[in-house]
Amino acid sequence: MKSRILLLILLIGVGSLNAKAQQLKKIFDDTEKQTSFMLDQVNQTKTAWLNDVQNKKKPEVVSPRTLTPDGKLVMVPAKDWTSGFFPGVLWYIYEFTGKEQWKEKAEAFTANLEKEKFNAGTHDMGFKIYCSYGNGYRLTNNTSYRDIIIQSAKTLSKRFNPKVGCIRSWDHNKEKWDYPVIIDNMINLELLFAATRLSGDSSFYKIAVSHATTTMKNHFRSDYSSFHVVDYDTLTGNVIKKTTHQGFSNESAWARGQAWGLYGFTMCYRETKNKAFLNQAEKIAGFIFNNPTLPKDLIAYWDFNAPNIPNEPRDASAAAVMASALYELSLYSTQGKYFRGIADKITSNLTSQYRSKIGENQGFILIHSTGSKPMNSEVDVPLNYADYYYLEALLRGEKLKNKKPLF
């Protein structure tokens, strides 16, 4: 009798795993159809752009980013901070399907970004290069990709100020900030960690650790919510002020900023095994998921302190980043089961309530993201980084279920 019960339990478990595998396959089948549709829209948009004489002296557009208010596709040049996400989407589709056609598309869109390896005017090197070339190298071991990653890390390192202990984020708005560092910059540290592994040059690692340590010290409040922008004095290294650029107010908790912090410190623990970074990630998660303004479906409003909740736009991109981070955090934390359960719920709700219908939204996968509400820019629209982190979260969840390494 006991053996029959055990067999029944085993069969139920296997059946549940098979059902989840089939569900994931269906999601990626839909993603392939939607992304094929997007590639058609990209070709049309790019052709029209090239044929417009007004664009002759402008940088060529290479990647889809979002939609205009009237639903037209917005494409951006390689220098745009989001240019690496669509190549990353293509790499993730290739990773799941193994189809050569997606590898070829990923290679083609990735190649458009190579010149950015020398662009020292931006801190967004990780977003652009690691999401594209980083995934490409992970999946193909293409040595030319490795060299581009290392050169990009060298370029990014030029923005590090040892007195401050951080990488400078922006060069614009110099009348507002002396040396601005934004919480988003935590994600770009992954490029530096990778460059140390690939080159043996520990200077990249030291810069990344310094930036993370300084950010942990100065960016967070006592409740472990994060400021968006911290401005430093380059002569003393002291903090001048703590503000926001995309959040509701200087004292509010901009949702995607909290997500960047969660993801960044989880990744930093992976690379350093410094338990202070793990504790920081756990505390950030505690702030997010115990927050009274977080909706029941766990898809955050654009700011946790936005004044008109529940009548505020959601940010599916923030939720996707959170889910992906939580799957990794579940590997390291004593609360692993809890964090994985939250990630499962977020990805399930994104899948069921925040996906575009096939053939709509110019081929983007997720809808209802918010770029910058204070500037009324990219509000309640699809965004390429929402798609990227959504697919990353799905793949991480699948690997965990099958007891496969995430990296």
Domain edges within the chain: 18-401
The closest of 396, 282, 290 to 344, measured between CA atoms, is 396
Run of H or E residues at 346: helix 336-353
What pLDDT is stored for residue 301 in this prediction?
98
The closest of 340, 341, 319 to 389, measured between CA atoms, is 319
231 as an active site residue: the answer is no
Phi first, then psi: what are they for 194, rounded to 5°? -65, -40
Structure tokens at 73: 């596709």
The closest of 168, 201, 206, 316 to 255, measured between CA atoms, is 316
The residue ranges of the chain whose pLDDT is under 50 are none
Structure tokens at 319: 């939720």
3-state secondary structure of 257: helix
d(CA 79, CA 82): 8
Q: Residue 205 half-sphere exposure, CB side, CA atoms within 13 Å?
A: 14
What pLDDT is stored for residue 172 in this prediction?
87
What pLDDT is stored for residue 18 in this prediction?
79
Query: DSSP strand E in 23-164: where?
Result: 61-67, 73-77, 160-161
Query: So what's the architecture of 18-401 in CATH?
Result: Alpha/alpha barrel (1.50)
d(CA 30, CA 45): 22
What pLDDT is stored for residue 251 in this prediction?
97
What pLDDT is stored for residue 205 in this prediction?
98
The one catalytic residue among 80, 184, 315, 387 = 184
The one catalytic residue among 124, 315, 344, 387 = 124
Query: DSSP strand E in 317-385: where?
Result: 369-372, 377-381
184 as an active site residue: the answer is yes
Residues 6+ apart with CB under 8 A from 194: 130, 134, 149, 153
